Amino acid sequence: MQQPSASIELPQFTSLADVALNLARAYTSWHDAKSGEDIFSYFASAPRHTGDEHGLRATLIRERILPIFHYVPSQIEYESQERYDLTLWNQSSQDRRRIAMIETKSSSMRNLTASQKGRETPTEQLERYLTQAGLYLGVLTNGDEWHLFDFAVGNEPLASFSLTELASLLQDASTKEAVEQRLTSRPLLQQALAINFYYLDANRWQQTDVFRQNLANNAYHRIASLQKPENVELLVQQIKQVLGSLRETIRAQFSLLQQRYDDYKQQCTRTNSKDSRPFEKTLKAAIENVVQFGTAFQLDTNGHLRTEISQLLAELTEDYFQSGDISAFEEAYLQRAEEVLKPHQLSQASLLGMGKNIKRSIRSLPPTEGLDALKTLLQIHYTYLQSLADEYALSKKTLEAYAAWQSRVRGVFGNPQDEFCLQTAYISFVRLFFVRVCEDHTLIPRRISDGPFARYEEYRVELLSGIKDTYLRLLEETY
């Protein structure tokens, strides 16, 4: 076992430019065994090839792509007994464990992360396999699309990119400088590569095994007393060093989530997944259809009544998207529209028994023609928005947290995005550090140092349920 040391030296990993160039070269070296087509011709063929997932899995992903992430053949399990396509294992022979899983699809399947009604999606299939295996990290690919998932945080891809796009970009690049320059011109591609290599690099997982060994070594926990100021200073320097090394990766992840959030906001403006018309326009047309007819409108020469009813429907539409209760929408409309119509009641002269002219008012009813069509439109759009919220849950949660943070700091920082990422990393570290202190002082059972790699979900539940009382006890002792 590695001897305890009070200092750390961060491992040196392959540069992103080298990874990108090696990945592009490995990808373009592949040819179809049957037709002899190169990678570009193969994926450009129309119609695309079908039933080729086995060939892509064996000759492209296993033999060419995964070695770029430093996996050796013994770490790649091909078509396991559980019917998992490709399973990645760590290098340790003593503590052998799965790292991640790769699900391959035919090259004819496109938009692998798109939702499908009435059937299991490729994303859901991958999540099911990972859950069965007790894992949370996985990749979904058709040989061109490459989607990385961490189902511990959500079912939205952490990073997605096209292998053919990367290969085309670097097709004639021969130097590291040329690769860096071209990657800089495609920031989203560059960031997706950085995230994928950070999570999938076998060397990084090997370093994790070393870290786990240190956690299991009781002597390692007491190599330096934090009662000495110089050791506290050393610890702070080490924390800064580790978090500083993660800055680029964290920032890349934030940028990808920000891009997906922008895409989410854009998708929300559509009427639904099959109707790309702006929802504002279809809503306006549906409301205009409601106020087009009605007895009271016949005498509304200046259009004020139509405007009032239209504004009422627009206001109630916003309320509906908060509650999702279409019955409450209709009930509120009928009640409030009747109040709006009261000043516009019609009068009719009638002769009653005593020969006197008496005026009686005729109650105007709220216009309902076109109301059912409006309700249908609202329900369809609401369901569509709910589906989008699920699909973009991770990016939505991240960017909403960023917006809330921005409102609190009020423009103090010159580069708020970098500062937000750094503060988020520090908060995560402090929470983990606090739990580790509680473990070492036996305030709670060992949960981080006994996991979470092999049993993530069980570990998470135990940690959250077990630390609640401990926090309260520590607060009572402190204050």
Domain limits, the chain: 16-216, 270-393, 411-478
**Confidence (pLDDT) at 352:** 45
| Contacting residues for 15 by C-beta, under 8 A, at least 6 apart | 176
84-111 residue pLDDT tens: 999 999 987 777 889 999 999 999 999 9
**Confidence (pLDDT) at 442:** 75
- Output 464 or 42, whichever has higher pLDDT: 42
Quick one: what percent of the chain has pLDDT higher than 70? 82
**Confidence (pLDDT) at 466:** 58
**Confidence (pLDDT) at 426:** 81
User: For the residues 11-16, what does the mean pLDDT come to?
Assistant: 71
**Confidence (pLDDT) at 453:** 43
327-339 residue pLDDT tens: 999 999 999 988 8
Report the CATH architecture of 16-216. Answer: Alpha-Beta Complex (3.90)
- Could you tell me how far CA 172 lies from the centroid of its own chain? 34
Nearest to 245 by CA among 69, 420, 4, 12: 12
**Confidence (pLDDT) at 2:** 46
Question: What's the pLDDT band for 190 if we cut at 50, 70, 90?
Answer: very high
User: For the residues 388-404, what does the mean pLDDT come to?
Assistant: 93
User: For the residues 56-81, what does the mean pLDDT come to?
Assistant: 95
208-259 residue pLDDT tens: 777 777 766 767 666 677 788 888 888 888 777 777 777 788 889 999 999 9
Question: What's the pLDDT band for 450 if we cut at 50, 70, 90?
Answer: low
272-326 residue pLDDT tens: 999 999 999 999 999 999 988 766 666 666 778 888 999 999 999 999 999 999 9
Q: What are the φ and ψ backbone dihedral angles of 139, each rounded to 5 degrees?
A: -125, 140
**Confidence (pLDDT) at 47:** 83
pTM of whole model > 0.85?
no
Q: Is the pLDDT of residue 14 over 80?
A: no
- How many Å apart are CA 263 and CA 467, to the nearest integer? 37
Q: Is 385 exposed, middle or buried (0-12, 13-18, 19+ CB in 10 A)?
A: middle
For residue 221, the 8-state DSSP code is: G
199-209 residue pLDDT tens: 999 988 888 77
173-182 residue pLDDT tens: 989 999 999 9
For all residues of the chain together, what is the average pLDDT? 84
**Confidence (pLDDT) at 464:** 55
**Confidence (pLDDT) at 357:** 53
Quick one: what percent of the chain has pLDDT higher than 90? 54
- How many Å apart are CA 448 and CA 445, to the nearest integer? 9
Q: What are the φ and ψ backbone dihedral angles of 354, each rounded to 5 degrees?
A: -95, 10
- How many Å apart are CA 466 and CA 306, to the nearest integer? 60
**Confidence (pLDDT) at 156:** 92
Q: Is the pLDDT of residue 461 over 90?
A: no
Q: Which of 64-68, 116-120, 187-191 has the lowest mean pLDDT?
A: 116-120
**Confidence (pLDDT) at 48:** 83
- How many Å apart are CA 84 and CA 98, to the nearest integer? 12
